[in-house]
Chain A
Amino acid sequence: MTDIQQTVYVVEDDEAVRDSLELLLKSDGKSVETFENATAFLKEYSDKMAGCIVLDIRMPGMDGMELQKKLNDKHSILPIIFVTGHGDVPMAVDAMKEGAVDFIQKPYREEALLEKIEAALAQDREQRKSLDEKQEIIRRIKTLTPREHEIMDRMIAGQANKVIAIELEISQRTVEIHRSRVMHKMGTHSLAHLVRMVLSVKDLIDAR
């Protein structure tokens, strides 16, 4: 799996804050993209975006909370760090309930901000990695033939080859061949790993 480029998306209406934050993050070696309001970000948004969002909670027009809701509607998994002013803590709490990873009060210390950004990026990586893994599992599952899929389900359910053979009215030898193909296609040698892999994507498969 290749490491994808993570970007910090800064959504901030104040030009000076936006500009200074961009310089700061770039000088720390981050990839940064800035947006002067929520609408502009929403227009650019795609699920290919990786990284995190640094989002000002108060903005004219669509505010940070509204943007968060709209992104949730789009199943965005981009972690959001809310930037709040003095006295906006209740708003920040609401934002956290909606799934924001963190919030930071203006004016903030650089270390604190970078720490939170790093944490968000790590979370994004994790999420993305696990999502990638799951998608890989699903992709592999999709390569199985219906017979192989059926046999895998029975394997996971803990049925022995003999039982599978009797129930499906095929030879035990045929079951063994299917079984080895399933293990091969799913890229594992261990039944326990196979079980874990399939269970981890169960919700995704069921959702389809």
Chain B
Amino acid sequence: MTESDSANSEITVLLVDDNPQNLKVLYETLKDKGYRLLIANEGEKALDLAHRHHPEVILLDIMMPEMDGYEVCQRLKANPETADCAVVFLSALDDLQAKVKGFSLGGADYISKPFQSLEVIARVKTHAQVIRLERQLQARNRELQSDQTRILNSISEGIYGLDERGNIEFVNPAAALIVRSSVDELIGRNFFELHFPDASEAADLPVHATCQQGVAENQRNIPMSRADGTSFPAEYRATPKLDNEELHGAVVVFRDITADLENEAALEEAQALVQEQRDQLAHTSRLTTMGEMAAGFAHEVNQPLTAITNYARVAKRIMSKQDAPDITLLGETMDKIEAQSHRASEIIRRIRRFVKKPATGKEVLSVPALLEDTRQFAEVDMRNNEGGIELLLPESLPDVMADPVQVQQVALNLIRNALEATRSADVAEPVKVSASLDGAGTVRVQVRDHGVGLPPDAEDNLFLPFYTTKSDGMGIGLATCRSLIQAQGGDIGFDRPEDGGACFYFTLPVAGEGTGSAAADGAR
């Protein structure tokens, strides 16, 4: 190419004339001016030299035998390799027609014979400079273009340039690699037909809106067909190609996200496993709690059963009075039996709901209703405990978003601990359970007792697994509570009230508010 020529700043001038005398004059005029001079005395030779040496300027005689100057000029301009040279026509034909024809064929200038040497020198100098600058500019452009190409080539994402109908105008190598084709084969093909051959409705096609309406798109996990008929999940961004607000198609940047999806699936699987283990642990913990409360529950169920047995006997007695069975009394007794069997099944229902294996998932929950239910639950334990449980609930409290079984498990755990601490301290003060709206879009539930209080190392250890202050404890209760509350997007902790006992609390995000604001802050 011509880079080396222009770098030498040596300018080549080709002189073409069939008249040796003229050539001599021109040669004499331009020698010693720092130009490399080439000479041709006919058209063919001139074309050959131009081809080989890429002269900046060609002084071309029009009137020549065989091939005249016009034809030489035409052929020079027709060949991209020589098209950029400046053709200056030389002719005695000093008429307007000849000049116009010369310019129309791509001539740069015109010098009339007989020529003045100063004029020749000046014009050659001017054109030589123009061409040199132009060539430098073009070289620079090529450099820039190759830079851009290198960039486009090195991007690992596929890039398509599409026209408004989706025909592929540009492809980078990565795109060809992803779709298992080559750049050359892809150019000119239709993006939609190639990658979405099965689509029925054109308007629904990815990128279609970008090409036709100029709407940017960004989609993930879109199945895209490859050239070989296989397909892959793609993520793409389509940006409209605008030129002065006029839509010229779209640029599509895409990639194959098969590996991403596999990673995500693996991550989800790992998370699911963690979740499953947490549920399992929570379930185990619930079963343990139920085991500890079994005697209480047996008693709780035995009460209505005992009453039912008694009532049934009474009913039989009434019926056995053959002379005049008291039907009214019999009806009342039956009603009582029914009420007691409802009572028994309600207790069983509550137990079953509590030990239900997979947690039911988050739902919109009323905290007061849940706490009331939990209080009744905990009272099973309370028959041997003095003091009892006191619920302190505000007039209105927003609902929270949480798993009812898991929240109840936490509340029950804290209440039972409080009852036990109260009993150990042999005090009559009831356990106070309260709920309030926190500033941070959370509902705070607090369980306060006046029991034996907490050991000095509680801050460091209380929520750790297998840490327990109870002689028969396993130490999974509070650790499980923390894990459960954090899974709800809440927080759990405790305070040491100045007047003794302990105060445990947990928070739950208010339903409908951003979950991020209530994110767990395990630092307490």
A binding-site residues for B, Cβ under 8 Å: 14, 16-17, 19-21, 23-24, 27-28, 58-61, 63, 85-88, 106-110
Contacts and interface: CB of A to CB of B under 8 A. Distances in A.
A20 B295 contact: no
27 contacts: A16-B303, A16-B340, A16-B343, A17-B306, A17-B310, A20-B307, A20-B340, A23-B310, A23-B311, A23-B333, A27-B317, A27-B318, A28-B317, A59-B383, A63-B384, A85-B295, A86-B302, A87-B294, A87-B295, A106-B299, A106-B302, A107-B308, A107-B309, A108-B309, A110-B309, A110-B310, A110-B313
Interface in B485-503: none
Contact of B384 (A17, A19, A24, A58): A58
A17 B318 contact: no
Interface in B300-351: 302-311, 313-314, 317-318, 333, 336, 339-340, 343
B336 A19 contact: yes
B306 A107 contact: yes
B382 interface: yes
A15 to B, nearest CB: 9
A19 B298 CA distance: 20
Contacts of A58: 299, 383-384
Contacts of B302: 85-86, 106-107
Given A58-B299, A85-B299, A87-B295, A20 B306 contact: yes
A175 B336 CA distance: 73
B420 to A, nearest CB: 16
Contacts of A14: 303, 307
B295 A16 contact: no
5 smallest CB-CB distances across A and B, nearest first, come from: A20-B310, A16-B307, A85-B299, A86-B298, A107-B306
A43 B314 CA distance: 30
Interface residues of B, number: 28
A49 to B, nearest CB: 23
B314 A106 contact: no
Interface centre among A16, A19, A88 (most CB of B within 10 A): A16
B310 A21 contact: yes
A60 B382 contact: yes
Interface of B: 294-295, 298-299, 302-311, 313-314, 317-318, 333, 336, 339-340, 343, 382-384, 386, 388
A24 to B, nearest CB: 5
A164 to B, nearest CB: 64
B126 to A, nearest CB: 116
A109 B313 CA distance: 9
Nearest to A87: B295
Interface centre among A24, A28, A58, A59 (most CB of B within 10 A): A24
Contacts, number: 75
Given A60-B382, A107-B309, A17 B303 contact: yes
Interface centre among B302, B304, B305, B336 (most CB of A within 10 A): B302
Contacts of A17: 303, 306-307, 310
A86 B295 CA distance: 7
Contacts of B310: 17, 20-21, 23-24, 110
A60 B383 contact: yes
Contacts of B298: 85-87
Contact of A24 (B299, B305, B314, B340): B314
A106 B313 CA distance: 15
A20 B305 contact: no
B290 to A, nearest CB: 14
B457 to A, nearest CB: 35
Contact of A19 (B294, B295, B299, B307): B307
B303 A106 contact: yes
A165 B299 CA distance: 71
A106 B384 contact: no
A157 B111 CA distance: 179
Given A20-B336, A86-B302, 16 more contacts: A14-B303, A16-B304, A16-B339, A16-B340, A17-B306, A20-B311, A20-B314, A23-B333, A24-B310, A24-B311, A24-B314, A58-B384, A107-B308, A108-B306, A109-B309, A110-B310
A107 B386 CA distance: 25
Contacts of A28: 317
Contacts of A108: 306, 309
Given A27-B314, A86-B298, A107 B343 contact: no
Nearest to B294: A87
Contacts of A106: 299, 302-303, 305-306
B377 to A, nearest CB: 16
Nearest to A113: B310
A28 B294 CA distance: 34
A108 B306 CA distance: 7
Contacts of B343: 16
A107 B305 CA distance: 6
A122 B432 CA distance: 49
Nearest to A14: B303
A28 B313 CA distance: 10
B299 A16 contact: no
A85 B305 CA distance: 11
Contacts of B308: 20, 107
A160 to B, nearest CB: 64
A60 B311 CA distance: 24
Contacts of A61: 386
Nearest to A105: B302
Contacts of A86: 295, 298-299, 302
Interface centre among A17, A19, A87, A108 (most CB of B within 10 A): A17
